[in-house]
Chains A and B, each alone.
Chain A
Amino acid sequence: MIEASVIASPILGVVFCLLHVIVSLVHAWSHLVHQIQCLIISSGLLSKYQNINLNRLRHLAVVIDSEDAKNKSKVHQLLCWLSDIGVKYVILYDIEGVMKKSDKAYEKSSANPSETKCMDFAPNMPLIFDMFGMTVEIISYTDGKEAVAKGANYLCSNYLKNQDDTLNKLGPKFTEPDISSALKAVGHDGPEPDLLLVYGPARCHLGFPAWRLRYTEIVHMGPLTSMKLSAVVKVLYDFSKKHQNYGK
């Protein structure tokens, strides 16, 4: 039995590696096809990508891996592209709050600093400012579950204040609009993004506030270091053609 497992383990290991080589080859092929598509889009040959209808895109979110987010010039470049395309509201998220600490860098590197108005950095609160005519909101992990707990405490204090109310004798009863109002009262009432772009090694939202993700289309863009304008254009175009049933 021991001899069988000694023989079997390396064989299993080799087959395992082979399977992953196949997966890598498929990814390489997809990447190549994507690069060709981006090349065609950036050449301007396809007119459909020139004038994208952004009526349905009211709010765009971008989740960036915190290591990638330290590259301030890349983040700034991305914001410039989004502004040029016509996006009006961008939510930037990274799990560790790197971008919250860097907000002053975006102000200084803006072509016209007077176009950028910044609030002071507060680690547990969203940061909102205007940049190139576009509203930018910067959030991090603490704006997710902890914000919901803050909202719960707000509802709790209101509930306890109304202890004499007959309805409250049945126990607390909250609705989803109550939760939304509570989040607004505690300063965490940001809009739900229609589209979320993920820059990083994996398609994962990394703790983006759950309350704001209900019907958000989530697209993986790859590492921030290899971001392309044409890739962003393609995603926005595909989004403009999307149709949602909302459960119907």
Chain B
Amino acid sequence: MRKDDIMIVAGLAFLILCVQNIDCTSDKSMQEGTPWNYDYTRYHPVSEISDWMERVVTENPELVSSSVYGETFEGRNITYLKIGLGSEGVQKKAIWMDCGIHAREWIAPAFCQWFVKEILLHYKTDKKLNEMLKNMNLYVTPVLNVDGYMYSWINESTRLWRKSRSTPPEGCTCHGVDLNRNFNANWGTVGVSRDCCHNTYCGSGPVSEKEAQAVTQFVGSRVDQILCFLTIHSAGQLLLLPYGHPHISAPNYDELMAVGQAAAKAMKAVHGMDYRVGTSPDILYPNSGSSRDWARLMGIPFSYTFELRDKGEFGHLLPEEQIQPACEEAFEGALFIITYVHDKAFYNRTEIGAASVARAFWATVLGSCLATMYLL
């Protein structure tokens, strides 16, 4: 066995891997496109997130644009980042992701920012990601409940606010509606309170809240385009499928479960964290009026609620030291689902393993070549 042969094989494998899924050069020089000096491992207030969004668009015009698609109760913009490659005017398929529908779930907006950063870092070198961005747009809303999120930043006593900040209805004295009980999906039937002072108050009527209206209007007018609806929450380490009502099942329940469980497996592979998968009435509690349910009822075939870390030790007050690992595992889960949904739409490929075949294969090639080099 000649040394040159080994070097050629090893070098070739290494080169192929660099072009494929494994990022060989994740040093600072590859961080083109991500705003410098932005710390993705800290929580940021709305003003910083807005600035960051502007910079992401300015520095990546070929990939990212932004748009205001609604207004909060207090008159603030609700903005998404639209991420995709290729020409406008083409009706592209799309993925929807929103974060921070519940004010106190700070890890959720942190994840949306992390997610965008990962896309920016890898879309040029990751062939699969590049392909998906050519075929689909990603609509990412880093903070949906802007009023509530800002309120939770006022001081320690407001930190655990959950709802919107709309004014009290007639005959009641407390602010805010639980936006994730306000959508037109079996609204007001189960898992809600009619008391405006409660944290699961579903509002005076379905889609009474401007924030819910914004999502309803935007997503509702693009139902045929949107392949997947992901809504990001904390905490509990769960992946929830439709529906929140215990007596209704989605027609593609089996597939939703299979994909969800595979995504949870991918998440666990990162840092060993368990994420339970199932409908809300099975694994958590029944609920109605959730955005996830509404999206599925509208015909969007894949709709999931991500409940990120943790399982109760810190709850919503997740330490900043955990932002990175929480986001790393959530990213794998989200990417798995997005990849599956893409491959199903564009290649009619529904084998669960398909999404990870490429990675496994090239990991094998590397393994064998490294073993070769070591043994000789």
Q: Do the two chains bind? A: no
Interface residues of A (CB under 8 A from B): none
